């Protein structure tokens, strides 16, 4: 599994499995990155908002691989909605990661977190112009070679269409929560239609799936752990999972996915909860 890739728009290869580093300190991210790379992981996901980009960069340096062998994903903070702020954020990520280029840069969310799109009712201000301004800066960095691919995170259909209809380059990725009990079917279907890869963060529901009766029953049926079942579920949905762990043993378990969930069992797992995460309006 660790050697398999998806192909993003533009021809950039992205590993099918990556390591998430959300809620890790700099030191934890450094050690987790190093351990993951030793096990054969090739993608590390971080963000400006995580405060651990420097740790990820140190872990990569300690591992010592050629830069082109590692795929780095990071994100512009959701609160940054100006061209000047976007350029500063990208330069800061390059500096903290200690790299000449970033493989995938995302806008972390379509709105600042205190106005985030999951809230109801939806805010009247959707930051359309602001997201376009940020995106156009990302396009320039893509053209310069400092970014290899660009995308979004936590974006709704309205927000993605705003980018598609008003800029030159489609988002290659939309990174969203996607796990058993929280399957964003509309987001997945829309992304497929547009040629966008869905990255699935928190595939194990930040640990909550460990107590789910159905997930445990089916994991036992396949002779795997609940996290293995959850990661495989995301892969069979056609998404790219980013399991997060600081435990090297769990990292190793998470990439042992030599089994297939049957179509009937996939239906059972999806029936545990689909969400209208990505809306048209």
Give catalytic residues, as residue numbers.
50
The SS3 call for residue 79 is coil
Q: Which are the contacts of 24, defined by CB distance < 8 A and separation ≥ 6?
A: 32, 50, 52, 55, 244, 246
Task: Using the Cα atoms of residue 276, residue 73, residue 94 and residue 148 in order, give the sign of their dihedral.
Answer: negative
Greatest distance between any 2 Cα atoms in the chain: 53
The CA-based angle 18-240-20, given to 5 degrees, is 35
- For CA atoms 167, 173, 177, 183, the dihedral sign is positive
Burial (Cβ within 10 Å: 0-12, 13-18, ≥19) of residue 239: buried
Tokens of 4: 């398999």
Tokens of 140: 């320039």
Task: Quote the CA–CA distance of 58 and 14 in Å, as a whole number.
Answer: 21
* CA–CA distance, 205 with 112 (Å, rounded to integer): 23
């Amino acid at each position: 599994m660790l050697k398999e890739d998806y192909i993003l728009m533009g021809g950039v290869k992205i590993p099918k499995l990556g390591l998430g580093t959300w809620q890790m300190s700099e030191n934890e991210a450094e050690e987790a990155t190093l351990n993951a790379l030793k096990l054969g992981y090739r993608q590390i996901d971080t963000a400006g908002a995580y405060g651990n980009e420097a740790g990820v960069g140190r872990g990569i340096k300690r591992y010592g691989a050629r830069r082109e062998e590692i795929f780095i994903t990071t994100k512009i903070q959701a609160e940054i909605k100006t061209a000047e702020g976007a350029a500063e954020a990208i330069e800061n990520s390059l500096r903290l990661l200690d790299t000449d280029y970033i493989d995938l840069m995302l806008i972390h969310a379509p709105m600042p977190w205190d106005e985030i799109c999951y809230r109801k009712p939806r805010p009247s201000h959707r930051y359309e112009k602001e997201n376009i301004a940020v995106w156009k800066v990302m396009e320039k960095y893509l053209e310069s070679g400092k970014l290899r691919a660009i995308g979004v995170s936590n974006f709704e259909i309205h927000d993605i269409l705003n980018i598609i209809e008003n800029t030159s380059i489609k988002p290659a990725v939309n990174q969203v929560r996607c796990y058993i009990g929280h399957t964003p079917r509309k987001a997945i279907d829309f992304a497929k239609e547009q040629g966008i890869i869905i990255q699935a963060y928190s595939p194990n529901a930040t640990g909550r799936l460990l107590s789910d009766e159905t997930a445990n029953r089916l994991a036992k049926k396949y002779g795997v752990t609940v996290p293995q079942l959850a990661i495989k579920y995301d892969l069979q949905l056609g998404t790219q999972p980013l399991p997060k762990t600081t435990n090297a043993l769990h990292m190793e378990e998470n990439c042992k996915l030599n089994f297939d969930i049957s179509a009937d069992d996939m239906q059972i797992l999806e029936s545990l909860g689909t969400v209208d995460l990505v809306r048209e309006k």
